[in-house]
Chain A
Amino acid sequence: MRQPQAVRAGLIGGAVVLYLGAVGMLERFSERSIIVGLIRFNLVVMMAAFFVFALFAYRRATGEANTSLGTGITAGTVAGVTTGVVVIILSLLVDAGVDVRSMFLRISPAFFEAITLGTNPYLGLVILAVIGAVMGAAAGGFRRLQPTPRTIVITVVGTVLLLGLGARLFIPMLQGLGIPTAWLYRSDALTILGAVIVSVLAVVIRLYLQRKGGFRKALTEVPGVTPSNVRPILFALGAIAVLAAPWIGKQFVADVLGTVGLYILLGLGLNIVVGYAGLLDLGYVAFFAVGAYTVALLTARSSSMVGATIFDLAPEPLTNFWVALPITLVVAVVIGILIGAPVLRLRGDYLAIVTLGFGEIIRVLILSDWLKPIFGGPQGITEVADVPAFGADTNDPRVLYYLIIAFALISLFIAGRLKNSRVGRAWAAMREDEDIAEGMGVSVIKYKLLAFAMGAAVGCLGGAFFPAKLGVANPGSFTLLVSINVLAVVVLGGMGSIPGVIVGSAILVGLPELLREFGEYRLHIYGAILVMIMILKPEGLIPDRRRALELHAEEPHESVGPLTAAATPGVQ
């Protein structure tokens, strides 16, 4: 075989497509149209798989094969044929009366339908081979494109996929803005005309911006905007977008954005512990729970608490949200220090395991029968009072969204100031070398406790809004998965990076909402995206300057300032 790499990539590609089919994803995706009557999501995914593995084939190929169209076509065709042949074998087995589904539950008639695009297995083989070959050739061609046509292709594909997949998010938003949607969408999928129009629009805008040298430069062409005031104007536009967002579309949008805001708070808190101080905390959910339960205990109608009769409490709430909030902060800081104190001597993996344990302890305690009179056991605390804001008690997600955003901004400000303060520097030194940091006068004990306390305080703010949002606090919301999700927000965005937390929250919390209709498969896709981002950008999406240096330490050092650049020739 002259192109072993291409064949290998193709075989893997075929296996991936078969896997996606066998777990039932293609079947589920086939129910989702991207463009009405033209393209369904299962086809998009298959095409993408062929395309990506053809690109892999090129990555592995050397010499002439690295540029020849043949490499991609071989890889794509092999992938298509592999898929098709296995599908035929499976169908023959099914025809012969073998109970394939006893092992592969999802190999149903709908599986064959989805993977052969509604034809029969034999025609399916031909179709898959052709699609594979075309996508392989496309991959080869794509690599040869000049930057501009390449931008056009990416823009068109990206726009159509985003608008097509996000139909259920964008339709209410457009309607909220008073824009008719009939021309663009029909039954949750793009119309052909709509797809063409938005693609053209997107390409025109993209190319225009590119020609002007980016959005910021393009903005200076607008009368009244000069390079000196472009920053505040961008800031104002951003602020308007943030403030207006919950009014566009239904409450659903405000709800999702509120959750994103909660994760920004949690992420900022954990970022202090993990990103600044370098203490890997896997039990961060503890502070989320502490915040939620303290607010719930103080503001729920006390009769809703299981133990109300024991304590002989009146049915009125003990206090309101704004009184409960500072109490919650104090409680969280105390618990942060209580959790921090015993683990001060632990480092790295050991610290992670112990904090993981603490997170579980908190969850088990609130779930326990023993503390049921206080925390209500599995049922939790119900009838948590609404938040008094703007002159009324409310649980309107839009109002809560504003409050969460306000607290997120305060936390952003504090986190930003901390980072470049003496405290931030002490944390950075401690993260690098605890012993020497002590030798410089950094009290490791003090600064570790401070990190836990600060992290706890910011994290409990997120927790405080949670029961106000849902009206209840129960143990089901405070599982290990929350700790992992928050950690993922921090790592994905870039450890120690504040903008990273915002982007990480938007992607990790917003994206699953976009994918909600795919049910259980959404975690599947989410996982695949996480893995891809971590392979392609291990330092996170918006890395902290210092962290980026750490991960690319082995790469040649780029000059950091004019002084260095000027001095370089004289280096010995």
Chain B
Amino acid sequence: MDEVVSGYGASEVLHGISLTVNEGETVCLLGSNAAGKSTTLRTILGMVPTRKGSVKLRGERIDGLATPDIVAKGITMVPENRRLFAKMTVRENLEIGAQLRDDRPAIASDIESVFSMFPRLKERVTQKAGTLSGGEQQMLAIGRALMAKPSVLLMDEPSMGLAPILVEQVFETIDEISKQGITILVVEQNANVALGIADRGYVIQTGRIVMKDSAKALLANPELSRAYLGELEG
């Protein structure tokens, strides 16, 4: 992602953001409210148009493509607030995740592997998604995204609205997914937990990248908390 400018309507939200995620890496994008974290993810997926700059996947430009085409190239998102299809069952949600795939037996076996990752979901397979607890919903949202067999997984605030113990579980899961070789870009406010599993991190503030470093260095950097308070000059 290079010098990307994007925004909604007349307002520009990202003022030239450059970030790189290497294959197999887990990178986290930190920042306070309204810093442009979600917009960054939405821009990558083509839900918000790229106005300047370019978004590339393995050297190939993907900005300007329609969202479904980008998804077909192997990028999937776990959206903010889960955004499950609340009135569809757990199984249907997972099946929707595999919408672009054709191989039925493989889909069926992937559903099973999601269940083995989240046994709780298997118990609730015919229940509608809206009736699940917050933690179960997050599991389902992750499972739904995995059903697309993505090579890159974008996660928007996976810790939002979850109890601390569940947050820990979710990030353990993210770590596991990363070990399967999936590249992950996770957007978080909860810096400590996110950096705990990430290889590298970026800090974004009012649409600009203000810091970037390895996860360990960022954790040790006292400026990190100041960036959150908005005192750092971009």
Contact = CB atoms under 8 A, between A and B. Distances in A.
Interface of A: 422, 425-426, 428-429, 432-433, 435-443, 445, 546, 549-550, 553, 557, 560-561, 563-564, 566-567, 571-572
A564 B83 contact: no
Contacts of B92: 425, 428
B83 A441 contact: no
B88 A441 contact: no
Given A422-B99, A441-B71, A429 B85 contact: yes
B85 A436 contact: yes
A441 B87 contact: no
A563 B125 contact: yes
B87 A425 contact: no
Nearest to A432: B85
Contacts of A433: 83, 85
Interface stretch (B20-28, B72-80, B168-176, B202-210): B72-80
Contacts of A435: 47, 83
B29 to A, nearest CB: 18
Interface string B5-49: 000000000000000000000000000000000000000010100
B126 interface: yes
Contacts of A441: 68, 71-72, 99-100, 148
A550 B87 contact: yes
A443 B99 CA distance: 10
Contact of A436 (B66, B83, B100): B83
Nearest to A570: B123
Nearest to A559: B127
Interface string B130-158: 11010000000000100010000000000
A425 B99 contact: yes
Nearest to B129: A432
Contact of B128 (A549, A563, A567, A571): A549
Given A425-B95, A440-B96, A564 B88 contact: no
B122 interface: yes
Nearest to B144: A440
B67 interface: yes
B85 A439 contact: no
Contacts, number: 86
B123 to A, nearest CB: 4
A428 B68 contact: no
A439 B127 contact: no
Given A441-B148, A443-B66, A561 B125 contact: yes
Contacts of A425: 92, 95-96, 99
A275 to B, nearest CB: 14
B97 interface: yes
A422 B131 CA distance: 24
Interface string B86-128: 1111001001110110000000000000000000001111111
Contact of A442 (B47, B99, B127): B99
B126 A563 contact: yes
A158 to B, nearest CB: 36
Given A438-B68, A440-B96, A563 B123 contact: yes
A564 B87 contact: no
Given A439-B71, A441-B148, 14 more contacts: A435-B47, A438-B71, A439-B76, A440-B71, A546-B87, A553-B130, A557-B131, A560-B126, A561-B126, A563-B122, A563-B126, A566-B123, A567-B123, A567-B124
Given A439-B71, A443-B68, A561-B126, A553 B47 contact: no
A433 B87 CA distance: 11
Contacts of A550: 87
A563 B122 CA distance: 8
Contacts of B87: 432, 546, 549-550, 553
B99 A428 contact: no
B133 A439 contact: no
18 contacts: A422-B99, A425-B95, A425-B96, A429-B99, A433-B85, A435-B47, A435-B83, A438-B71, A439-B47, A439-B76, A440-B76, A440-B96, A440-B97, A442-B96, A445-B66, A546-B88, A560-B89, A566-B123
Closest 4 CB pairs of A and B: A567-B123, A441-B71, A441-B100, A560-B126
A546 B93 CA distance: 13
A564 B99 contact: no
Nearest to A553: B130
B86 A439 contact: no
A443 B128 CA distance: 24
Contact of B99 (A440, A553, A563): A440
A432 B133 CA distance: 19
Which of A441, A560, A561 has the most C-beta atoms of chain B within 10 angstroms of its own C-beta?
A441
A435 B95 CA distance: 17
A439 B45 CA distance: 8
Contact of B88 (A422, A428, A567): A428
Interface string B203-232: 000000000000000000000000000000
B67 A432 contact: no
Nearest to A561: B126
A553 B88 CA distance: 12
A442 B125 contact: no
B113 to A, nearest CB: 18
A410 B77 CA distance: 39
Nearest to B124: A564
A559 to B, nearest CB: 8
Contact of A432 (B45, B68, B77, B88): B88
Nearest to A442: B99
Contacts of A445: 66
Given A439-B47, A442-B68, A572 B133 contact: yes
A445 B67 CA distance: 11
Contacts of B100: 441
Nearest to B166: A572
B86 A432 contact: yes
B21 to A, nearest CB: 18
A549 B92 CA distance: 14
A429 B96 CA distance: 7
B10 to A, nearest CB: 18
Interface in B51-79: 66-68, 71-72, 76-77, 79
Nearest to A564: B127
Contacts of A571: 133
A571 B66 CA distance: 40
A443 B68 CA distance: 6
A14 B126 CA distance: 50
Nearest to B45: A439
Contact of A429 (B88, B122, B124, B128): B88
Contacts of B77: 439
Contacts of B72: 441
A441 B76 CA distance: 9
